[in-house]
Amino acid sequence: MRTGSEPATARSALRARFWLSLWGLCWAVFGTAAFALVGRPGWAAACGVLWLLITVDMIVILRHIRQGPHYQPGRDVPPYQPSDGPPYPEPRRHRRPLRGPPRHHHP
């Protein structure tokens, strides 16, 4: 059921992201080595850049996992309860004076 508070109460599957990043890291390392061995420096460089991005992503994931339940609640932590009020304040409505029906000028 959607409550409208999903962005504020969303949780990330950090362990799944970690394992998927590890899988991608293995393929990026393999691709870098394989393309370097067959003499394709462009593809080897592309895989090397991907390797660097995956490594940075894994560092961020591991940092969030180590920060504890604030970022990665365990199964014993219930989901956050949405607030009772609307998720965002109602926009202010500006009243414009009535000017009458629009006038159309035909040539």
Q: What is the pTM of this model?
A: 0.55
Judge whether residue 14 has pLDDT over 60.
yes
- Tell me the C-alpha distance between 37 and 29, whole Å: 12
| CB atoms inside a 10 Å sphere around CB 8 | 11
Q: How confident is the model at residue 99 (pLDDT cuts 50, 70, 90)?
A: low
Judge whether residue 107 has pLDDT over 70.
no
Q: Summarize the confidence of residues 39-58 as an average pLDDT.
A: 96
Q: Summarize the confidence of residues 7-24 as an average pLDDT.
A: 82
* Higher-scoring residue by pLDDT: 91, 38: 38
Nearest to 72 by CA among 83, 62, 81: 62
With contact defined as beta carbons under 8 Å apart, do 82 and 5 qualify? yes
Q: Looking at residue 18, what is its pLDDT?
A: 93
Nearest to 57 by CA among 11, 10, 7, 14: 14
Percent of the chain clearing pLDDT 90 (strictly above): 43
Judge whether residue 58 has pLDDT over 90.
yes
